[in-house]
Amino acid sequence: MTNDATVASLGEFGLIDHCFKTLERTDVPGVGMGIGDDAAVFLVPRTQDLLATTDTLVEGVHFVRDADPRDLGWKAVAVNLSDIAAMGGEPRWYLLSITLPSSTPLAWVERLALGMNEAGARFRVTLAGGNTTRTDGPIVLTINMFGVVGHERSLLRAGAAAGNRLFVSGTIGDAALGLRHLLGVDETLRRMDPAAIRFLMERHLRPMPRTDLGLTLVDAAIARAVIDVSDGLLADAQHLCRSSGVGADIDLRRIPLSPPARQWLEGSEHDRWPLLLTGGEDYELLFAVAPGAADQLPAIAARLGVTLTEIGIVTDRKEVRLLDNGNPLSFAVPGFRHF
Ligand code: ADP
Ligand code: MG
C-alpha cells in the first residue's frame, strides 16, 4: 500500500480487517462473538449488571482535521471509559461506528486505530464490532462502551443527602487550559515553560479515566452519588445535585489545581476561575460520601496514587453555591452545552 492510499483503496471490509480487527483483544473476558457476525455476543453472569454508554466525536465540533488521529483514538475510547468509571463498572467491550469520506488517508485511520489500541491495552477493553460508512461530510466517530458491575451496585448520580461530604479526584481545569493553548489565544500560557504546557496539553488530548477509583468506590461501598466531570466541575456538581434532589456548597479555595493551572490563575483570579470551573473535559470523578465514611478516603487515595480532595458539602438548599471565604460567588457561564 502506498503512502497516499485512501480508505477507498481498501474498501469497507478491507478497512475493517486492516485497521479494526487488530483492536480485538483476547485477554478480555466475556466475548461470545466479536467482529465478524451480525451482532456481538457479550457474556454477562447473572450476578452482574450490564452498563452501556456512548459518545460521538464530530470533525469540526470536537476535533479539527489536522489533529493527530492517534490522540483522537485514545480520547474517543477514554471518554467512554470515564462514563463506565463513573458508574463503578469494569469496562469490557466496545463498538465503533465510523463515518469517513472516501478520500480519508488510510494513514489517518491507521493512526486512529493506534490510539484506540493504546487505550484498549491500558484499560483492557476490546473492540467487538461496529459499523463503517462513507460520507461526503465530516468524519464522525461513535463509540459504544459496555462494562459490568455487581448486580444493583452501580454508582448513580442520585443518592447524595444533605450533610454528605463532596470529593473530587485529581485536578480541575487543566484540559480547558490545554485546549486554550491549542487555540493560541492566551498570552500567559504562551509564556509558560514547555513542561507545564506539555502537561496541560496531555490533559486535553489524552484524558485518563478514573476506572480504578470507580471500582474501588463500589468495593468500599462508600459513595452515595458519583458523576464524572466532563462538562465542568460546576455543571456536573449541578447534575449530581439535581439527580439527588439536593444542593451543595463548594469551597473555591479547596478546588484542587495543578501547579501549571495555579500559576496561570495568579494575578487574575476573578477573571480566570470561570474557565477552570466550566471548561470541562476533566474526566475526574466527583462524589458524595456519608460523613463517617470519608475517613477511608486517604488510604484509598494513597493506594491508587490519585489525589482525592474534599471540596464542599451537600446541602438541602437545592442549589450549587460556590463560596469564597464563606461568601457566595456567582458565575454566569454554566458549562459546556451543545444547544
Ligand atoms: P451487518 O451488515 O450485518 O451490520 P457489517 O457488514 O456492517 O454487518 O459488518 C461486518 C462485521 O464487521 C460486523 O461484525 C461488524 O460488527 C463489524 N464492523 C463493521 N464496521 C466495524 C468497525 N468500524 N469496527 C469494528 N467492527 C466493525
Ligand atoms: Mg447482518
* Residue 12 Cβ < 6 Å to ligand 1: no
Strand partners, 90: 148
CA atoms within 13 A on the CB side of 82: 23
Expressed in angstroms and rounded, the spacing between residue 257 Cα and the centre of ligand 2 is 49
Expressed in angstroms and rounded, the spacing between residue 272 Cα and the centre of ligand 2 is 52
Q: For residue 151, what is the DSSP state?
A: T
For ligand 1, atom 3, name the residue with the nearest CA.
Answer: 38
Report how far residue 277's alpha carbon sits from residue 310's, in angstroms, rounded to the nearest whole number.
Answer: 16
* Residue 98 Cβ < 6 Å to ligand 1: yes
For residue 56, give every residue at least 6 positions away whose Cβ sits within 8 Å of its Cβ, in sequence order, or none. 62, 140, 141, 142
Report how far residue 42's alpha carbon sits from residue 26's, in angstroms, rounded to the nearest whole number.
Answer: 14
* Residue 39 Cβ < 6 Å to ligand 1: no
Which of the listed residues 17, 108, 132 should we mutate to test ligand 1's pocket, taking the one with most ligand atoms within 8 A of CB?
Answer: 132
- Is this structure's pTM higher than 0.75? yes
Rg value, the chain, Cα: 21
Report how far residue 214's alpha carbon sits from residue 285's, in angstroms, rounded to the nearest whole number.
Answer: 8
One digit per residue, the tens of pLDDT, for the chain of length 339 reads 567 899 999 999 999 999 999 999 999 999 999 999 999 999 999 999 999 999 999 999 999 999 999 999 999 999 999 999 999 999 999 999 999 999 999 999 999 999 999 999 999 999 999 999 999 999 999 999 999 999 999 999 999 999 999 999 999 999 999 999 999 989 999 999 999 999 999 999 999 999 999 999 999 999 999 999 999 999 999 999 999 999 999 999 999 999 999 999 998 988 899 999 999 999 999 999 999 999 999 999 999 999 999 999 999 999 999 999 999 987 654 555 656
